[in-house]
Amino acid sequence: MITRQHPKLIFWAQVAFWLGYFLFYFMNSLRYTSTQFAVIGASMNTFFFAIVIYINVLWLMPSFFLPKRYISYALMATIILAGLGYLRMLIGYYVYPQPESSEGHYGYEVLYFTGSGLINLILSIPIKYAFEFNRLQAHQQQMANAQLEAEMKLLKMQLHPHFMFNTLNNLYYLTQIKSNTAPEIVEKLSDLMRYILEKNDSDRVALRDEINFMQAYMDLEKIRVPHLDLTFHVTGNIENVQIPPLLVLPLLENVFKHGVDKNSKSNKISVSLTVQNDKLEVTTMNQLREYSKPGNRLGLANLQKRLRLLYEDHFILKTEVHLVKNQFFAKLIVPVL
């Protein structure tokens, strides 16, 4: 997930901060002056300190403090604080004079407002660092998510050519032997590719749609392999369940690529899909063939990478070989929404 500083949230947080600032000065001033002058004094102080803080956060720190030009920062801050302190004194005495104001204490007033401004300036330094840290964290998260998205797209790009290559290779074989099933395969392949193109950019798809895709894929394979003992079971409530698109396709490709021999009259494959306790479990079984090399399974390796990006450590993908029964098993368990 990408963490971002929401502009409206930041704006209203600042409004609330300065409103609290104003109320603090206003309530404090009511102890020794009238409501009218308390409002005026609190407004001027809030405005004065807001200028100090924003100049520091938006200009002084980025230009001098953060680049470690500390002497220049201190010099510029002193000049600005003294100038603003003197201006605040003039406004307090001559623009909105208050009853308790007495002439002749100009130096003290300038020193008071300059010192108060310095305190606020110092307090704003950790605030600036907090915002910079949050901004850096958000940027790093954005970059990390962008990298994950790029890796995910790359894995999907590897998936689609792999699927196309397998199917076109089968289609080529059927045209070579002039099989009458070639037109039917082209039609079913068109339906499968339409689904892939439509769902490719989706984050989630309905599990029912994915099951229909799986069934169409297996129907296509049954046309290609005439002697195929295929069982497909779906159990559990699949309604309103969503998963990432084409998540199970590598498992299907794996069983048909490594577990089927077109020249054999005994090809046994089983696929089961179960939804239970907010988890999806997919199990596949195929017979081991002499040409099948369990270590050379690019589809499963890419699936492992994709699962890591999607679920971090909250998934199970394991394979098992039963040499006695001459069978290969694969199991996938992922959380579902």
235, 211 contact by CB (below 8 A): no
150 pLDDT band (50/70/90 cuts)? low
- Global pTM value: 0.55
pLDDT of residue 237: 93
pLDDT above 80: residue 154: no
Q: At what angle do helices 35-55 and 70-90 cross, to 10 degrees?
A: 160
Task: Say which DSSP state 1 is in.
Answer: -
pLDDT of residue 134: 73
For residue 83, what are the contacts with CB-CB under 8 A and spacing of at least 6?
none
The mean-pLDDT minimum among 114-128, 158-172, 220-234 falls in: 158-172
217 pLDDT band (50/70/90 cuts)? confident
pLDDT of residue 1: 35
Give the integer Cα–Cα distance in Å for 122 and 139. Answer: 26
Q: What is the pLDDT of residues 228-275, one digit of tens each?
A: 899 999 999 999 999 988 889 889 988 888 888 877 778 899 999 999
The residue ranges of DSSP E strands in the chain, in sequence order, are: 205-206, 229-235, 242-243, 268-276, 279-287, 316-322, 327-335
Q: Which of 271, 281, 202 is nearest to 238 (CA)?
A: 281
Give the integer Cα–Cα distance in Å for 217 and 252. Answer: 8
pLDDT above 90: residue 295: no
What is the distance in angstroms between the CA of the first residue and the CA of the last residue of the chain? 17
> Residue 335's beta-bridge partner residues?
279
pLDDT of residue 329: 93
Percent of the chain with pLDDT over 70: 81
Average pLDDT, the chain: 81
Q: What is the pLDDT of residues 173-210, one digit of tens each?
A: 667 766 677 777 778 778 888 888 788 778 899 999 99
Cα dihedral sign, 23-27-28-33 = positive
Within 13 Å and on the Cβ side, how many CA atoms surround 48?
30
pLDDT above 70: residue 97: no
Q: What is the pLDDT of residues 34-64, one digit of tens each?
A: 888 888 888 888 998 899 989 988 899 889 9
pLDDT above 80: residue 21: yes
- Which domains, from first to last, does the chain contain? 7-142 (no CATH), 179-335 (3.30.565.10)
pLDDT of residue 2: 35
pLDDT of residue 3: 39
* Helix or strand holding residue 125 (H, E): helix 106-176
Burial call 246-278: b when 16+ CB within 10 Å, e when fewer? bbbbbbbbbbbbbbbeeeeeebebbbebbbeee
Q: Which of 44, 7, 272 is nearest to 131 (CA)?
A: 7
DSSP SS3 for 97? coil
More confident residue, 176 or 115: 115
